[in-house]
Amino acid sequence: MVAKESSDLLILGGLVVTGDGVTKADILVSNGKITELGQDLSNRSAARVIDASGNYVLPGGLDSHAHPIFADKMDTYSICAAYGGVTTVVPFIGSETHRHEIFGNHWGVRDYNPDIVKGFIEYGEQASYTDFAIHGLITTRDTNDIDKVIPDLIRLGVISFKMFMTWNPWGASRGTIHAIPDELVMQVMDLAGRDGGMAMVHAENGVCKAYLEHKFRAEGKVSIENYLPSAPNIIEAEAVHRAATMATLANCALYPVHLSAKEVVPVLKQYKDAGLPIYGETCPHYLSLTNQDFLREGYVLKVSPPLREDEDKEAMWKSLASGVMSVIGSDYTGYTRALKLTGTMDQKADEPILGQENIFDIGAGLTTLEFMMPLVWTHGVNTGRITLTRFVQSFCENPAKLFGIYPQKGTIKPGSDADIVIWDPSKKHTVDEEHGNSDFSTFKGMELLGMPIITMVRGNVIIENDEVVGKSGNAKYIPGNTSTTAYADKKYQVA
């Protein structure tokens, strides 16, 4: 009798959660892949056996909205991700060489957008503890060669392209490069649509936003209570509507990022019902915090778009549960207090007195990654706002399908990467600091119930017993495939 070959890992007795439901199953892993699922695999041989009884077994999460270029780069960024159950990070990388120079990202000091992406891939595979995909970032520096940039990025497996719709003539005259005019947005949508890519937009009306900020500054209304009125709900809803109109004409899939306003929900539904492949993303802070928290805690909670009101928060939850909203991403920047106050990490800055700060001179950015999934579990799953399967769809399956990396990522199936999280629903945690370089915590003091206790990437344990046990240097860049996206293949539709 021939002995069965031993596997690398056997996970026994857990409740496996996918977008299709919850099943008690054992999981066998070899060479970084899930090789078998079954109700009783206890007779199988493996180098390590994990008893997951009493716990959930989840696919590793995706952070679909990542900025690992400031204080937290891919090393510490990916550690924070893994502590929170995220096994694949999807950062925005592109033509912002000035930032790469300022923040010491030597891989990004290049002229051509796809060359910057190539530099990041080389760097990321050496520095990261988790795997990663990439979103393209388009700025005005790409204007003259955009016809080459988009096809070249798609050939690299970068199939989604972020654009800031905050262009205004005053900002353009000052040389602002991130906000791009509508004609460039339209060009990108046209090019992406032809080759199976997807447009991503930071949706705020730039002219209205600049007008209001200028008006408030001129009137001396610069303290913290003036921030939300300077970026009202209507300018977000208008920009989503405008982007969806453009995407419809260009026959391009659309992904508006970090949505926060209740008025956006009917816009998403209108275009979904009309047949546009449009997929909304919200963030953990829009599901848990409001303007009242901002007024109490001060500048550390400044983010763009701003924290809004209770009715907006509830609208985000309802849209997520109903399927109008598709994904939750962190929008984690890894800012420090000095970076928010001065624009650099080198200068020291005095803490402003609450109510006496100029809120328009302070940077927008939060630290949300490590506690993103536990927070949504606590405030969503535990309260019945969303189901377990919706949790996995929003963090795992949907983003993997949208970015062309499913079923390699985002699910627990034979043949998929063994990106697996053992989740203890009874584990309590009080939020303090994240395991990165930021010196403030967006969710500090929150009481959470339900936490990851083991996080593994391709079968390699990265976090166990609240300790980093994995190593950097084993990360893989996961290129997106335009033919297997949710908007290209009906069998990969998002829920």
Write out pLDDT tens, residues 354-391: 888 999 999 999 999 999 999 999 999 999 999 999 99
Q: How far apart are the first and last CA of the chain?
A: 46
Which pTM was predicted?
0.97
Q: Which amino acid is residue 176, in one-letter code? A: T
Answer whether 85's CB lies under 8 Å from 455's CB: yes
DSSP assignment, residue 417? B
- What pLDDT was estimated at residue 175? 60
Find residue 66's DSSP bridge partners.
91, 332
Instruction: Determine the pLDDT at residue 2.
Output: 39
pLDDT given for residue 50 in this prediction: 98
Q: What's the confidence (pLDDT) of residue 347?
A: 81
Diameter of the chain by CA atoms?
86
**Which of the residues in the chain have pLDDT under 70?**
1-4, 172-175
How many Å apart are CA 67 and CA 333, to the nearest integer?
5
Element (H, E) at 214: helix 206-218
Nearest CA-CA partner of 65 in 89, 97, 36, 95: 89
Closest alpha carbon to 307 in 261, 356, 238: 261
pLDDT at 346: 82
Measure the CA–CA gap between 104 and 69, rounded to whole angstroms: 9
Tens of pLDDT along 108-125? 999 999 999 999 999 999
